[in-house]
């Protein structure tokens, strides 16, 4: 019985932490593709992982700021669908 109570208390103590983490992931709604670092790009854009985020930054460093979200399609591995899926998240 003592072990059961201990297990329940430990579970209850972890709940607020789990809720806080969930709130943080939902907090990112917009990503500025001209200023975001690789972690922000990967976390904030659907379908963008570490490699695509790195490619976005490399493209930006070589070509300057993005003029439109569609310019992302110039990057290998990023197509129109990815831009469309993130239209509401991308800012300039």
CATH number at residue 71: 1.10.150.280
Per-residue confidence (pLDDT) for residue 18, from 0 to 100: 47
CA distance 53 to 39: 8
Per-residue confidence (pLDDT) for residue 61, from 0 to 100: 97
Domain that holds residue 45: 2-91
Per-residue confidence (pLDDT) for residue 10, from 0 to 100: 52
Where the chain has pLDDT below 70, the residues are 1-28
Q: How many domains does the chain fold into?
A: 1
Per-residue confidence (pLDDT) for residue 23, from 0 to 100: 47
């Amino acid at each position: 019985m003592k072990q059961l109570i201990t297990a329940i208390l430990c579970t209850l103590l972890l709940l607020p932490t789990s809720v806080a983490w969930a709130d943080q992931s939902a907090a990112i709604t917009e990503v500025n593709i001209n200023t975001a670092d690789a972690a922000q790009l990967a976390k904030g854009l659907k379908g963008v992982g570490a490699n695509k985020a790195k490619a976005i930054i490399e493209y930006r460093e070589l070509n300057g700021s993005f003029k439109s979200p569609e310019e992302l399609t110039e990057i290998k591995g990023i197509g129109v669908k990815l831009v469309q899926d993130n239209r509401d998240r991308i800012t300039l």
